[in-house]
Structures are given as C-alpha cells and as structure tokens.
Amino acid sequence: MASLLQPTRPQLAVSGAIFRDGKVLLVRRARSPGRGFYSLPGGRVEFGESLHTALHREVDEETGLRIEILGLAGWREVLPGAFGGGHYVIMSFAARWTAREPVLNDEHDDFKWLAPDGLGDLKVTGGLLEVIEAARKLV
C-alpha cells in the first residue's frame, strides 16, 4: 500500500513536449497538483528505470501515444509550497508523435494539439512556455 505521506526527498520526473505536424500536445490535469492547468504528459521515474523508458511509459499510460524522443529540452524544479506539495526535478524532453491517437487516462480530462505560439490565455503550469520553446528547436 502506498504511503500517504509526502516523500522527504526530491522526486525525479520526466515530461514530453510531443510535436505532430508543427503542433505540441497539451493535457489538462484532472486532479491536484495543478488541477485545471494544461501541461505536458509525464510523471515520476521509477527506481531502476531510465529517463527514456520512464517517458515512453508515462506517455503511453497517460495518452496511449507512441513517440520518438529527440533530446533533452530542459529541466525545472517544483518546490513544496506554503500548503505542502511535493519537491520534483522534472527532466523535459522534445519528442515526435509516431503512432496512435490520444486516449487520456483519469489523470487528465482534456487535450489539445496547439501551435507552440498559439497557447493564448490557457492556464498552463510554470515554465511550460520555456520548455516548449526549447523543445521546438530540437524538432
């Protein structure tokens, strides 16, 4: 049974800026943290798992997509806030869509394929625009 206590150390995570026909995939979080915010698919790296394996697994679990990882687009750190939350180091990769259409799991309630400069007034997670811009240079 998983512990309900927050980890006492930073957790390693991955995310993918997945491009298809010049557009990037954004998913909206259905629950906290970040409920209602659009972000990139991804999640925690499991013990003994490579970053690329973790990203392929997370993208498959969250969207059902198949991807080709192109390179590291950057990283960001999420620190616990005044109301708690986890401490994460997120390695963000540029990726290219290769197969399947998005089918979201229960972690997300919407997705959009958008031009990187066409996010408009969407509520997005911190640092997302910078990661997308860096990833676009690798595609």
Residue 85: per-residue pLDDT: 79
Residue 80: per-residue pLDDT: 87
End-to-end Cα separation, the chain, in angstroms: 41
Phi/psi for 95 (5° steps) reads -145, 160
- What pTM value is reported for the model? 0.93
Work out the mean pLDDT of the chain and round it to a whole number: 93
Residue 1: per-residue pLDDT: 43
The answer to which of 2-6, 17-21, 46-50 has the lowest mean pLDDT is: 2-6
- CA Rg, the chain, in Å? 14
Summarised one tens digit per residue, pLDDT across range 47-89 is 999 999 999 999 999 999 999 999 999 999 999 876 667 899 9
Q: In the beta sheet, which residues pair with residue 71?
A: 94
Distance CA 43, CA 91 (A): 10
CA–centroid distance for 16 within its chain = 5
Residue 4: per-residue pLDDT: 60
Task: Tell how strand 23-29 and strand 66-78 pair up.
Answer: unpaired
Residue 7: per-residue pLDDT: 79
**Domains along the chain?**
11-137 (3.90.79.10)
SS3 for 49-93 is CCHHHHHHHHHHHHHCCEEEEEEEEEEEEECCECCECCCEEEEEE
Residue 81: per-residue pLDDT: 79
3-state secondary structure of 129: helix
